[in-house]
Amino acid sequence: MAVYQTHFAEDIVKEKLQKVFQNKVNVWVPTKDTGVDILLTDKQNNKIASLQVKWSKNYNSDYQNKNSYGGWFAFKKKKIENSKADYWVLVVPSNFEKKFQFMVIKPSEMVEIYQKLDLYHDTINSYIDIVGDKVYESRGLPNNQRNLETLQNFEDREISMYLNNWERLMK
């Protein structure tokens, strides 16, 4: 009998959910891979949200800021379009420490962002750059434009509203 094991990133997200919501939710893990990695319920076990967790190894951006994070994700367009999860949680590692930031985003919002930036292909390569409380999708920009000063000029690439936005899971 095969035993389903959770991924390191899923464990990080479960721990973060427990910390953020304390005793307000139950965190469940499916016993097999169904496209949903985590299920959140209220204390009466009524569904709140289903989550798909995606992990990036450190994508070492050029930022020298100690408060910077960088991730490179490769998504299959069909997996986003056919996602069974209400939200995807992108785990973005720090460029300097063993710390993480989280993007909490609906699959439909991902489609909208990647279509707007002309990144919506069969395989979507996404660069998430976080400095402080600002988040940018920087895929497709030349390396010399992937810095905080320049990225601030690309308002259409700012996606900060999804950064650590755990409260939206409760709505």
DSSP β-bridge partners for residue 129: 70, 136
Name the CATH topology of 8-170: Trna Endonuclease; Chain: A, domain 1 (3.40.1350)
Give the 3-state secondary structure of residue 106: coil
CA distance 93 to 26: 25
pLDDT given for residue 61 in this prediction: 58
DSSP SS3 for 61: coil
pTM for the whole structure:
0.92
78-92 confidence digits (pLDDT tens): 999 999 999 999 999
pLDDT, block means (10 residues), the chain with 171 residues: 71 96 92 91 93 85 70 96 98 88 98 96 94 91 80 92 96 79
Domain ranges of the chain: 8-170
Contacting residues for 167 by C-beta, under 8 A, at least 6 apart = none
Q: Helices (DSSP H) in the chain: which residue ranges?
A: 8-21, 77-81, 107-116, 148-151
